[in-house]
Structure 1
C-alpha cells in the first residue's frame, strides 16, 4: 500500500507540474500574440523576419516584454534545485531569450538603418533599461554560482572541446562583467552601466544630427572638376531634400570623399572638410566633448571596481593582443614608417601644386585632391577612369563568383516580395551549396545612404548558424552608404569603396561558413574577426575578377591590361595617408583609455597627443574623437580599434601563403584550409591557435610592412 500511495502522489505531482508548464506556455503565447516583433519567424528559408510589418509603436512594448520573458527563463535556470551541469545550465542559457533575440534584431535594424526622430526617443528611453536588463543577467548571483560549479568541475574533468570552449567563454564573460563583486559594488557597477548606455545613445544621436543637418548645397557654377556621375547623384539628393536645381554634398564619407578628390573649388573643399571633421565638435547642444569625458571617467571607475588599472587592461585580456602594451607595440612599430611615407607624399603633392602655379601650401582639404593629381602624374592612373569599370552590380557578381570558387556557394537573387525587407532598396539572395543544393541561408544587401542610416559600411546577421537545437541556417546582411545614382545610371564606386565592399562581404562569408554547435561560439574576437574580412579584399585584384567583372559601364569591355598594370604598380600609392589617418585614431583610442580621466579636457588631450605623435598637419585622423562612434557610441571597438592593423598583419601574412600556392588565390588546398581553420570554427578555437593551424607558424609583421611598401627597421 505504501508503494501505491507513493506512486499516486508522484503521479499527482507530475500531473500538476505538467499543468503548470502548459499554463506557462499558454501564458507566454498570449503575451506575444498581439506583437509581431516577438513572434517566431515564419515563411520560407527556416522563417524570416517580418520586416514589412515593423511598426514603430510596437518596438518599446516588444522590447520590454522580450526582456521580461528572458529574465524569467534565466531565473528558472538560476533557481534550478538540481546539481548544476553543462546541460541544465550552460545549454539552457544558450537556449534562453528567443523572443528577446527576435525583437532585438528589429531594434538593431531600426537603430542602424532606419533611425527616425521618433525611434531615437524610444532608443533614449530604452538604453538604460537594456543596460539594467543585461546587468540582471551578468550579476545574477545564483546563476553565476551554477556556472562556477560547472566550470570548476571541468577543471578536473574537462568537457568535450566545443563544450569546454563555450563554458570558458561564458565564465570569463560573467567574471569580466562583475559577477564576483560584492552586492554594494554590483549596485554601483549596474548604475555605471545604465549611465553609460544613455551617454552612448546621446553620442550616437548627436553624430547623426550633425550628419543630417550640415549639408552643402551647390549651384551649377560650383561643380568644376566633379565627375558626371557624382553631379547627377548630387542633383538627385538635392531634389529628394526639396532643393530642386541644386546639388547636395551630404555630411557623410561617401559624399565628401569624391568631392574632396575632384572639386577644383578650394574654398568649398575647405567648407565640406570642416563640416565633416567637426561632427560632434561644434560647441552647441550636439557637442560630444563633455560626453566623451564622462564616458572615460565612468569606464575607468567601472573597471577599477573589478581590480583593473584601466579600461584597456580589462578589455584586451580576451583579445589576441592580450595587453594594451602588445597592441601599442605593433602600432608604434608601424607609425614611424607611415608618417615618413606621408612626408614623401606631401612633397610630391606640393611639387604638383607649385608646378601648376597654385600658390598654396598643402592643407588637409587638399590631400585627396593633389594625391589624385600625383597618381595621374606618377602612375598615369586616373581614379575616375578606374571608376568607370567599378559598377556595384558587377562587383556584387564578382563577390558571388569568389564565394563560389572558395566556399562552393551559389547566390541566387530572389524576386522582389519573396521575403519581407525593411526598405525598397534592400535586395535578397538565397545562398546554397553548389554541390548538394542545400540552403545555407539568405544574404540581404542594403547599399544606399539615406536619412536615419548610420554612416560607413557594416555586416550583421539576423540569425546565426547553430545545431544544438536543430540546424539553423544563416540570415546575413551587408550595409553600405553609397550615394544612390540617378535613375537609369549605373552606380560607379571608387577603388577604395570597392575594397570596402569586398571587406564587408568577407564578414558575411564568415557568418555563412560557420560550423559550430552553440550560439556563443558564433561570437568573435575583435582583433581577429577583421582578419577574415580584410583577407577577402585581396580577391578584388585577382585576374579572374578583373577580367570578368571589372567591365566598362558603357561598352561592357573588360578593363584593359595597361590599366590593370597601372593599378598594380600603384598598389602602395597613398599608403602613408591610409595608414596614418587610421593609426592616429587607433592610437588615440588606446591613449584615451590609458590616461587618467579624472580631469581630462578631451579637445586638449586630442591636440596634445597628436603633437606628441608628430602627426602630419596635412591630414586628419580618420575619426576625430567627438564623432568616433566605433569607440564612444558603444563598447565593441573601445580600445580595440587597433584590431584592424593587428588583423592586417595576419592578412598580409596569409596573402603571401596564397600567392605562393600552386593555384594562387584560387588554390583548392589553400581554400580548404582557409575554411577549415579560419572561417568555419568562428570562436570555437583560440584565434592564435587557429592561425598557426592554417599557416604552420605565427604571422610576421614583415609581411605587413612589405605589403604597404614601408621600410622595415633593422
Structure 2
C-alpha cells in the first residue's frame, strides 16, 4: 500500500512530500476511492433507522483519506507541477468526478439523508448541526438526486467533461506563460528599469545559459517591466504577449474550452432546474441571485465611472504633456500611472522597497497576528516540504497549544502557476473529543533575492502577502466540529473578508513601524513615507474599481445567461466590457482565454465577491479604526464571530454578531475617495 494511504507517521502528521513519488498517486487515489466507497456502503447498509449521527455526521467524516491525497496532489499541481503530474491529473480528475457523482446520485444514501432532513423539526440539533444537515441535503438535491436516470447519466457525463476541460484550460495558460521569453541583449532596452529588476532579469538569463537579460510573463518580471521600462515598443510586445495567452488559434488555444465550459455549465444548471449557471451558484452565496449581483455591480459602476473617466483623462493629458503620446494604450497605463504617482506624491515603489524586505514583512504579519489573536509563529525544520524554497512554521496559542502548521511558498518557478493563493493540506475538525488542527499554506510569486539584494517587495506585494495571510488566519483559527464547515468553507462572497480586511494594516503607522525597516540601515520607515502611502492609497481608485467591476461583469456575462448563441469569445468579451472600457481594444488579446479564476478556479459567477467583500472589509475595519487598530475587544470579536466560525451559520448572521449591524457600502466608497468623507 502506498505511503499516501496510511496515516502519516511524521511530526504533526504532515505530508511526507519527499517520500512521495509521482507513480504513487494513481494507485493511492484508486485505493482511497475504494476505501471511501466502503465507508459510504457502511452508511447505506446500516440497519438502524437513519439518524443525524449515523448518516449526516458519518457522511461528513467519510473520505478523509481521499481528501488528504487530493489536497496534496492538486496543491502540487498548482505550485510544483510537471508534465507527469499534469498527465496524472487528466487521469484522476474524471475518476474523482465520477466518484463524487456516485455519492450524490446514490439513491439509498439520499433516502437516508432525506429521512433525517424531513424530520429535522423534531430533532434537537445545534446551529452547526442544522447547517450541516441543510448543506448535505442540498449537496444531493443541487447535484441531481431528484433527477430521472436518463438525466443523472447526462449529469455524470457533463461533470466528467468539465473536470477535464478545466484542467486543460489551466495547463494551456501555464504552458503559454512558461513558453514566452523576451530576450534582450542591448542594455539601453532596459532604460527606466530599477536595478533590482535588471539584476533579476540578468540572473534569469544566466540560469538559462543566455547572455543579456530575460523578461517573462511571471509577475515579478512582467510587472516591473510594464511599470518602469521606457521603451514603449517593448512594453507593447510584452503586453500583447500577456494578453494573447491561449488566444492564438494553436494547440494551446482556450477559445473552444471557454465556449464548451460555459455551455456545459449552463446545460448542467438547466438539468437541475435552474435558469442559468449563475442562478445555480448564487443560491449558495450571500448575494442569492444574479439580479442582486447585477444591481450591486451597476451601483458601484455608477459611483466609480465618473471618477475613472476623470482619472483616465488626467492620465492621457499627463502622457501627452510628458511624451507627446496621442492615444493612451493598455501598455502605457502602468508606466504613466507610476510616473504621475511619483509626480503627485513624490512616491514610487523603488523608494519603498528597501523598507519591505520579505523576511521583515513576514515577521510583521506574524507580530500583527500575535497582537490581535494571541498567536505565536515558530520556524521549524522538522517537517517535510515539497520544494527547498518553502518555509515551514508551527503556530501555537499563548498556552503553547498547537493551532496550526503553516507553509509559505514565495518565489516563482517553472512548475508554479502565476498569482497568489491560500490553500489547505488538512482541515480542522473535532472528532472523538479531539480538536484536530489544520495544515495551511500560502503561495505567492515575489521577486527572488539576487546576488546583491534580498527579496524586496513592492507595496502591492506587501498587501498581497497580507491578503493571503488573512485567508491563512481564517484557516488556522478554525474551530468547528465538522470538516466541511471548517475554516474557509464559507460562502464565496464572504471568504474574501478575512483576507481583504488584513490588508488595511499595511496602511497604518502603528503596524508599519513593526516591520517596515530599511534592509541595510535598520531605519524605521519615515513618517513622511507613511503619510504618502496613505495619501496615495486612493490614487486611481476609480480606474481600479472599474477594472474589478469589468471582470465581474465578464464573469456574469458568461454564466448569467444562455451562452449557446455565443460563437466568438472575443466579440462576446468586447460586448461585456462595453460599459467599463477606457483603453482602446487590442485585437490580438482576449482575457477570457486566460481568466483562470472563473474557468479553472472556483470563481465562476463569483468574481463580484471581491468587491462585495470589500464592502464588508471597509465596514469591519471602520470598527477597528473607531476603537484602535490593535484593540483587543474588537479583535476578539472578529476572531470569535468570524475567523473561528467557518461556515456554521449564515455569514450575515456572523457578521452582524461581530459588528452589531449590517454593512453599508459607504465605508468602502469613502475609503476609495469616491464619496466625500463626513
TM score, norm. by length of structure 2: 0.96
Paired residues, number: 671
What secondary structure does 1:454 align onto?
coil
Q: CA deviation at 1:712?
A: 7.9
- Partner residue, 2:462: 498
Is residue 265 from structure 1 mapped to residue 231 from structure 2 by the alignment? Answer: yes
Is residue 153 from structure 1 mapped to residue 119 from structure 2 by the alignment? Answer: yes
- Change beyond 3 A, Cα 1:560–1:628: same
For residues 246-325 of structure 1, the aligned pairs below 5 Å read 246-325=212-291
For residues 324-339 of structure 1, the aligned pairs below 5 Å read 324-339=290-305
What secondary structure does 1:527 align onto?
coil
- Partner residue, 1:599: 565
Is residue 233 from structure 1 mapped to residue 196 from structure 2 by the alignment? Answer: no
Name segments (4+ residues, structure 1) moved above 3 Å.
357-360, 618-623
Q: Is the 8 A contact 1:223 1:263 kept in 2?
A: yes
Q: CA deviation at 1:545?
A: 2.4
In 2, the alpha carbon distance for the partners of 1:487 and 1:50 equals 32
- Partner residue, 1:676: 640
Q: Is the 8 A contact 1:449 1:481 kept in 2?
A: yes
Is residue 694 from structure 1 mapped to residue 658 from structure 2 by the alignment? Answer: yes
Report the structure number with the largest CA radius of gyration.
Answer: 1
Work out which of the residue numbers 614, 639, 652 in structure 2 matches 1:648: 614
- Partner residue, 2:357: 391
Cα deviations across residues 253-278 of structure 1 (Å, max 9, x unaligned)?
A: 33211111100010110111111111
In 1, the alpha carbon distance for the partners of 2:68 and 2:449 equals 33
- Partner residue, 1:551: 517
Q: CA deviation at 1:354?
A: 2.5
Cα deviations across residues 284-321 of structure 1 (Å, max 9, x unaligned)?
A: 11111111111111111111111111110011001100
- Partner residue, 2:405: 442
Is residue 371 from structure 1 mapped to residue 320 from structure 2 by the alignment? Answer: no
What secondary structure does 2:350 align onto?
helix
- Change beyond 3 A, Cα 1:255–1:513: same
- Partner residue, 2:429: 466
Q: Is the 8 A contact 1:456 1:480 kept in 2?
A: yes
Is residue 39 from structure 1 mapped to residue 6 from structure 2 by the alignment? Answer: yes
In 1, the alpha carbon distance for the partners of 2:631 and 2:669 equals 25
In 1, the alpha carbon distance for the partners of 2:648 and 2:260 equals 36
Structure 2 runs not aligned, ≥5 long: none
Comparing 591-600 with 113-122, greater Cα deviation is found at: 591-600
Cα deviations across residues 331-352 of structure 1 (Å, max 9, x unaligned)?
A: 1111133332222222222232
Higher RCO, Cα 8 Å, sep 6+: 2
- Change beyond 3 A, Cα 1:296–1:477: same
Is residue 140 from structure 1 mapped to residue 121 from structure 2 by the alignment? Answer: no
What secondary structure does 2:577 align onto?
helix
Is residue 585 from structure 1 mapped to residue 548 from structure 2 by the alignment? Answer: no
Q: Is the 8 A contact 1:552 1:559 kept in 2?
A: yes
In 1, the alpha carbon distance for the partners of 2:514 and 2:657 equals 33
For residues 37-436 of structure 1, the aligned pairs below 5 Å read 37-45=4-12, 47-219=13-185, 220-243=187-210, 245-415=211-381, 418-434=382-398, 436=399
Q: Is the 8 A contact 1:229 1:485 kept in 2?
A: no
In 1, the alpha carbon distance for the partners of 2:200 and 2:4 equals 35
TM score, norm. by length of structure 1: 0.91
What secondary structure does 1:478 align onto?
strand
In 2, the alpha carbon distance for the partners of 1:639 and 1:707 equals 26
- Partner residue, 1:631: 598
In 1, the alpha carbon distance for the partners of 2:485 and 2:676 equals 37
In 1, the alpha carbon distance for the partners of 2:305 and 2:80 equals 39
Structure 1 runs not aligned, ≥5 long: 1-31
In 2, the alpha carbon distance for the partners of 1:572 and 1:218 equals 35
In 2, the alpha carbon distance for the partners of 1:164 and 1:579 equals 38
- Partner residue, 1:513: 477
- Partner residue, 1:15: none
Q: CA deviation at 1:620?
A: 8.9
What secondary structure does 1:217 align onto?
strand
- Change beyond 3 A, Cα 1:580–1:254: farther
Cα deviations across residues 192-214 of structure 1 (Å, max 9, x unaligned)?
A: 10011111111111101110101
